[in-house]
Amino acid sequence: MSRAGLVRGFDRARSSVDSGTGRGWPGGTEVAQHVLLVEDEPNIAEAIRFILTRDGWRVTHVADGLAALARVAETRPDLIILDHMLPGLSGLEVLAALRADPATAATKVLMLTARGQERDREAASLAGADGFMAKPFSNAEILAEVRAMVAR
Amino acid sequence: MPFHILVAACLAYVIVLFLVAFLAERRARRGRLGFLQSPLIYTLSLSIYCTAWTFYGAVGYAARSGLEFLTIYFGPTLVFIGWWWLLRKLVRIGRQYRVTSIADLISARFGKSNLLGVIVTVMVVIATTPYIALQLQSVVLSFGVFASETPDGVLPPDAEQTAVWVAVGLALFTILFGTRNLDANEQHHGIVTAIAVEAVVKLVALLAVGAFVVWGVAGGIGETIAKIDAANLSAWQMEPGRWTGLIFLSAAAVICLPRMFQVMVVENANEGHLARASWAFPLYLMLMSLFIVPIAVIGLERLPVGSNPDMFVLTLPLAEGQGGLAMLAFLGGFSSATSMVIVEAIALATMVSNHLVMPLWLRFSRAGARGDDLRGVVLMARRVGIVGVLGLGYAYYHFSGGSAALAAIGLIAFLGVAQVLPVLIGGIFWRGATRVGAVAGLLTGFVIWGYTSFLPSFGPGAVLSTSVFSEGAFGLAWLRPHALFGTVGLDPMIHALFWSMALNATAFFLGSVLTFPGPVERLQGAAFVNVFEGQIGPRRWAHGQAEPEELLVMSQRILGEDAALALFQAAAKAQGKAGFLPDTTPEFLGALEARLSGSVGAATAHAMLSQLVGRATVTVEELMAVASESAQIMEYSAQLESKQEELTRTAGALREANDKLMQLSIQKDAFLSQISHELRTPMTSIRAFSEILTEGGLDPETVVKYGGIIHDEAKRLTRLLDDLLDLSVLENGTVQLNLTLTNLHEMIDKALIAARQTRPERSFEIDRDPVAENVYLLTDADRLTQVFINLIANARKYCCSDHPQLRIAVRLRGGRVIVDFVDNGLGIPKDAQALIFEKFARLTDGNRAGGAGLGLAICREIMANLGGTISYLPGQGGAAFRVTVPIRLEKQAA
């Protein structure tokens, strides 16, 4: 936790300066934080992966819910970015499954949704999402949210 | 003759009668009615008119008043010869409506009024009581005559005791034969046959005595006539007023006397018998009266002064030492008395049970019509009635002291029953007669009769004090019983006759004119008055709610089990039903009522049926009130019901509309959500990559790649917007169709080329039938081609076979062309087949090269606009779509 606090403080300072244009992990010696990206739209996944990787995050991308659950157990990510509308299991169902498993119950989850209605935000919050972001978003926004959540 | 021999003779005679009755009854029960229903028996049974009064009393009458006794015969003779049409009407009514007594007839005529039944019953019972007493007296007298001759010193019982025993014996005989069973027609074949035998006995006895007197005593016809001329009888003066009055009285009596009504109407089996009786009965009367005067004259001449002329028939043969003849005469007199008493008792008991006992029992028995064995109750009522009637007769005999002359008592009774005549005649000839009028007339006549004739008959000081006779009731001179309204000097009989009949008729007339008959009364009145004019249904039953079982149970209690069962079975058979439970049709109920009327009277039968048919009310007014009330209630409830229905309908419509709106709202939300998603997804990519590009610092390869993504996503957005617009136009029906005559083959060619842009890397084998495709369609070619493109593109997109194939089959059928697109993929899962034509119903997200899930929805809308259909064909191996389109699309009048 102390490390997270450190990172956050640093990141926040940095993000406020150059708004996510920096590369690599600033701590240098620290292991890169791991983000699991669950997104079925390949173009959006590519964009997020690019943005986060450039900011020094290690990003694993899967396209559906089942794969996501498998990867979670395997990789224990620091943060999961979870699209709402997924083929097969929906984002909310994946979230519920994560929260039901004690091993992943505390894992931070950022929900993405393209529907952007208040209802969806509430549903995500109820299901136990730690953050919520409506598409489309600016690169700075998602970066700031990811940093804030991991630091928290 | 020794008393005990006399008693033995009487018993023997009674036993013979009993046998006759028993055999006749058995015969009738076996259905072999034969002569039992012959006009001869009918005529002979009518002879009960000739009672002991006629048998013994006529001689006494002649001895006292000369030829006046003839009036007693003239009345009936006139009625039977001259008024046969009146009798015929009575008989017809009686038979048609199964009238059981004169009280029943009057009750039925005036709207089945039980009040009238009660009044007539009470009147007739009271009026006939002296008459029954008269019979007892005659039997006692005749016993006395014989007993006085007893040589061996055995003292005969005193008259009182004899009277008691005679009354008891007659009651037993009557009960034995009069109440053996309850016949629907109230006919007693056994009794009637026995009476016919008695009629013969009394006629033979009287003729024998007469013949003996004329030829045996007087010494021939000539001598007899000479003696008659010599007698002071010839000095007797005829009083025209009294004659007319007496003839009228006896004529009225023959119609109104309960026993005459019984044999003439109730026991009548055939209306035709009346024709025979119309001359045969007067003939009988003539024979009965043939020797009256000679017997009287010779008796007065031969017998000691002070001998009772009422007993001449008996005492003359005795005086002449003709024991056998005297015995015959005695039996003749005995026959006259017994036959009268038996029939009278039966008739009165029927009235009493039907109009007094049964209504009371019905009212106070908690079980009502459904209760215990009603048959038993009715029979018991009859038996009690018989005992009661004979008891009353004995009581009258006892209290009147038996001193009055026979004829006088008979006339009092005649006048009493004659009070029924105005109402009876009025009832069957005048439709305007009403119940109120009838009650008024009957009560008026009855009161006057009681005051001027009946009560005085007990003698001054017995019931009415002597002061009433001399000074009138309450000291009012005009209320003197024998000088009503100051009519002094009239013969008491004629005085009573005049006032009672006049006031009776007046009250009846005024009461009828001043009141209005009730509905059933009018119906019954019309039915009775117009009895010869076909059937006017007087007893209309609506379809009742009575269960046939209940009706059967009730009927069995009244008619007896077998008779009721037979009746029901016949009715069921007539209705074409098996078993013994007919439908309770109005006709059946009417017939049943008629049948039950025969046993318990019209009003009671009506009341009982009413109870069972579900109308607890008995009076017609109540019935009508209930009917109109229930009609109102029914109307009201019908209104409520229709309102309720309307509300239910409205509620249903509202609910439906609401459901629709809810569904629409849900659909709209889902649609907006979908649109939002479909729009935001490409926009997210575009925004993210454009920001990345703007930040710079990328290698040229990446720039190109990201630029390409932006381009694709922009195109996707455009296509989505196009589709949405298209769909909106198609759905709203505002699409402009451009109808041209185009070859189907060309359209498919075009579609195949256009669809090649979808996954162009895949090589697709297309299976076509150019010959079948060579058909010109009048349609919007661009739109139809768009559908084809969609279907072919879908196949290219989703067919997962390694060697994808698409078969395009074309067929013509009934002015329509059918184009099937079948690929060799996995097809669409069954549960998804229903969804594919819905908006955004994309099934897999694997390869969605730009589709927003609107393709098939658009196809469906296009086909609807083109007058065709598009559907999924299950079970074709791969995904299979069928497009049906009219060959010539008629331009719709927009």
Nearest CB to A138; choose among B681, B691, B712: B691
Nearest CB to B689; choose among A40, A47, A135: A47
* C-alpha torsion sign, points B367, B371, B372, B375: positive
pLDDT cut 70: percent of chain B above it: 81
Average pLDDT on B741-747 reads 91
**CATH for A113:** 3.40.50.2300
Q: What pLDDT is attached to residue A8?
A: 40
Determine the residue among B668, B715, B843, B845 to mutate to test chain A binding: the one whose Cβ has the most chain A Cβ atoms within 10 Å.
B845
Q: Please name the amino acid found at residue B361.
A: W
Going by pLDDT thresholds of 50, 70 and 90, the confidence category of residue B607 is: low
Q: How far is CA B356 from CA B112, B118, B349, B440, B609, in A?
A: 14, 6, 10, 20, 18
Domain boundaries in chain B? Answer: 3-98+133-234+253-418, 420-538, 539-618, 622-711, 735-886
Answer whether the bond into residue A136 is a cis peptide, omega within 30°: yes
Average pLDDT on B501-511 reads 88
Q: Are B873 and B882 in contact (CB under 8 A)?
A: yes
Chain A residues within an 8 Å CB radius of B673: 115, 117
Q: Are B268 and B189 in contact (CB under 8 A)?
A: no
CB contact under 8 A, B673 and A40: no
Going by pLDDT thresholds of 50, 70 and 90, the confidence category of residue B869 is: very high
Q: Which residue has the tokens 């009855």?
A: B446
Chain B nearest-CA residue for A39: B681
Residues 674-713 of B with CB under 8 A from A: 676-678, 680-689, 691-692, 695, 709, 712-713
Q: How far is CA B564 from CA B137, B184, B551, B558, B766, in A?
A: 42, 10, 10, 8, 90
Question: What is the C-alpha to C-alpha distance for residues B89 and B236, in angstroms, rounded to an integer?
Answer: 39
CB contact under 8 A, B684 and A44: yes
Contacts of B785 by beta carbon, 8 Å cutoff, 6+ apart: B747, B750, B751, B754
Residues 121-140 of A with CB under 8 A from B: 134-139
Determine the residue among B668, B675, B684 to mutate to test chain A binding: the one whose Cβ has the most chain A Cβ atoms within 10 Å.
B684
CB contact under 8 A, B685 and A48: no
Q: What pLDDT is attached to residue B380?
A: 81
Torsion of CA B718, B723, B726, B732, to 10 degrees: -130
Question: What is the C-alpha to C-alpha distance for residues B38 and B40, in angstroms, rounded to an integer?
Answer: 5
CB contact under 8 A, B688 and A134: no
Contacts 24+ apart (CB under 8 A), B430-434: B430/B512, B430/B529, B431/B522, B431/B525, B431/B526, B431/B529, B432/B512, B432/B513, B432/B517, B433/B109, B433/B110, B433/B508, B433/B512, B433/B517, B433/B525, B434/B110, B434/B511, B434/B512, B434/B515, B434/B516, B434/B517, B434/B521
* CATH hierarchy code of domain B622-711: 1.10.287
Chain B residues within an 8 Å CB radius of A116: 676, 680
Going by pLDDT thresholds of 50, 70 and 90, the confidence category of residue B464 is: low
Report chain A's C-alpha Rg in angstroms.
15
Q: Are B121 and B148 in contact (CB under 8 A)?
A: no
CB contact under 8 A, A136 and B677: no
pLDDT tens digits along B323-336: 778 888 888 888 88
* Choice between B649 and B230, residue whose per-residue pLDDT is larger: B649
For the record, the structure tokens of B48 come out as: 């009960």
For the record, the structure tokens of B182 come out as: 């309850």
pLDDT tens digits along B91-132: 888 877 777 888 888 888 887 777 888 888 888 888 888 788
pLDDT tens digits along A89-147: 888 889 998 888 888 888 899 998 877 677 778 888 888 889 888 888 888 999 999 99
Q: What pLDDT is attached to residue B744?
A: 92
Pairing of strands A108-113, A79-83: parallel
Question: What is the C-alpha to C-alpha distance for residues A123 and B395, in angstroms, rounded to an integer?
Answer: 109
Q: Are B269 and B94 in contact (CB under 8 A)?
A: no
Q: What pLDDT is attached to residue A52?
A: 92
Q: Are B274 and B522 in contact (CB under 8 A)?
A: no
The helix or strand, by DSSP H or E, that contains position B720, with its residue range, turns out to be helix B700-732
Chain B residues within an 8 Å CB radius of A139: 688, 691-692
Q: In this structure, what DSSP letter does residue B372 have?
A: S
Query: DSSP states of B383-417 as a string?
Result: HHHHHHHHHHHHHHHHHHTT-S-HHHHHHHHHHHH
Contacts of A128 by beta carbon, 8 Å cutoff, 6+ apart: A95, A96, A98, A99, A109
Going by pLDDT thresholds of 50, 70 and 90, the confidence category of residue A79 is: very high
Q: How far is CA B175 from CA B169, B350, B382, B384, in A?
A: 10, 12, 8, 9
Of B379-383, B615-619, B631-635, the range with the highest mean pLDDT is: B379-383
CB contacts < 8 A (A, B): 62
Q: Please name the amino acid found at residue B427.
A: G
Establish if A44 touches chain B: CB-CB under 8 angstroms.
yes
pLDDT tens digits along A33-68: 899 999 988 899 999 999 999 888 999 999 888 888
Chain B nearest-CA residue for A118: B673
Nearest Cα to Cα of residue A150 among A3, A8, A16: A8
For the record, the structure tokens of B337 come out as: 């008395």
Chain A residues within an 8 Å CB radius of B681: 41, 44, 114, 135
Chain B residues within an 8 Å CB radius of A46: 709
On the 0-12 / 13-18 / 19+ scale of CB atoms within 10 A, B49 is buried
Assess whether pLDDT exceeds 50 at residue B301: yes
Chain A residues within an 8 Å CB radius of B846: 87
Q: Are A75 and A96 in contact (CB under 8 A)?
A: no
Question: What is the C-alpha to C-alpha distance for residues B93 and B109, in angstroms, rounded to an integer?
Answer: 10
Chain B nearest-CA residue for A45: B685
- Cα-flanking dihedrals φ and ψ of residue A64, to 5°? -145, 170
CB contact under 8 A, A51 and B676: no
Q: Are B114 and B355 in contact (CB under 8 A)?
A: yes
Average model confidence (pLDDT) across chain B: 78
How close, in Å, is residue A7 to chain B by CA atoms?
25
CB contact under 8 A, B685 and A51: no
Q: What pLDDT is attached to residue A5?
A: 40
Q: Which residue has the tokens 């076909």?
A: B534
Going by pLDDT thresholds of 50, 70 and 90, the confidence category of residue B849 is: very low
How close, in Å, is residue A62 to chain B by CA atoms?
13
CB contact under 8 A, B692 and A44: no
Establish if B844 touches chain A: CB-CB under 8 angstroms.
yes
Q: Are B395 and B163 in contact (CB under 8 A)?
A: no
The fold of the B735-886 domain, in CATH, is: Heat Shock Protein 90 (3.30.565)
pTM of the prediction?
Answer: 0.53
Determine the residue among A18, A90, A135 to mutate to test chain B binding: the one whose Cβ has the most chain B Cβ atoms within 10 Å.
A135
Assess whether pLDDT exceeds 90 at residue B883: yes
Ramachandran area for residue A19 (φ above 0: left; ψ -120 to 50: alpha; else beta) = left
* Choice between A94 and B83, residue whose per-residue pLDDT is larger: A94
Chain B residues within an 8 Å CB radius of A117: 673, 676
Nearest CB to B688; choose among A21, A47, A116: A47
pLDDT tens digits along B42-61: 888 888 888 877 788 788 77
Average pLDDT on B807-817 reads 90
Assess whether pLDDT exceeds 60 at residue B369: no
Tell me how crowded residue B813 is: count the other CB atoms within 10 A of its CB: 8
Nearest CB to B687; choose among A40, A114, A138: A138
Contacts 24+ apart (CB under 8 A), B733-737: B733/B865, B735/B783, B735/B865, B737/B780, B737/B783, B737/B865, B737/B866, B737/B889, B737/B891
Q: What pLDDT is attached to residue B803?
A: 87
Assess whether pLDDT exceeds 60 at residue A28: no
Establish if B846 touches chain A: CB-CB under 8 angstroms.
yes
Q: What pLDDT is attached to residue A80?
A: 93
- Cα-flanking dihedrals φ and ψ of residue B27, to 5°? -60, -45
Question: What is the C-alpha to C-alpha distance for residues B285 and A44, in angstroms, rounded to an integer?
Answer: 135
pLDDT tens digits along B520-542: 777 777 777 776 765 433 445 55
Chain A residues within an 8 Å CB radius of B682: 43
Nearest Cα to Cα of residue A80 among A71, A27, A88, A138: A71
Domain of residue A106, residue span: 2-24+32-151
Nearest Cα to Cα of residue B114 among B378, B412, B361: B361
Q: Are B136 and B166 in contact (CB under 8 A)?
A: yes
CB contact under 8 A, B844 and A87: yes
Q: Are B59 and B310 in contact (CB under 8 A)?
A: yes
Q: What pLDDT is attached to residue B533?
A: 64
CB contact under 8 A, A139 and B692: yes
Nearest CB to A136; choose among B673, B687, B709: B687
Contacts of B89 by beta carbon, 8 Å cutoff, 6+ apart: B428, B429, B531, B532
For chain A, the domain total comes to: 1
Q: What pLDDT is attached to residue A25?
A: 46
Bridge partners of residue B884, in order along the sequence? B818, B869
Chain B residues within an 8 Å CB radius of A48: 688
Chain A residues within an 8 Å CB radius of B677: 85, 114-115
The arrangement of strands across the sheet holding A58-62 comes to: A58-62, A34-38, A79-83, A108-113, A131-134
The helix or strand, by DSSP H or E, that contains position B811, with its residue range, turns out to be strand B805-813
Q: What pLDDT is attached to residue A21?
A: 39
Question: What is the C-alpha to C-alpha distance for residues A105 and A44, in angstroms, rounded to an integer?
Answer: 26
CB contact under 8 A, B676 and A115: yes
Angle between helices B84-96 and B102-109 (to 10 degrees): 80
Nearest Cα to Cα of residue A15 among A145, A131, A136, A108: A145
Establish if A48 touches chain B: CB-CB under 8 angstroms.
yes
Which alpha helices (DSSP H) does A1-152 contain, by range? Answer: 2-18, 42-54, 65-75, 91-100, 118-127, 139-151
CB contact under 8 A, A135 and B689: no
On the 0-12 / 13-18 / 19+ scale of CB atoms within 10 A, B401 is exposed
Chain A nearest-CA residue for B674: A115
CB contact under 8 A, B681 and A114: yes
* C-alpha torsion sign, points B193, B196, B198, B201: negative
Average pLDDT on A8-23 reads 39
Chain A nearest-CA residue for B850: A41
Q: Please name the amino acid found at residue B322.
A: Q
Q: What pLDDT is attached to residue B817?
A: 92
Nearest CB to A87; choose among B682, B687, B845: B845
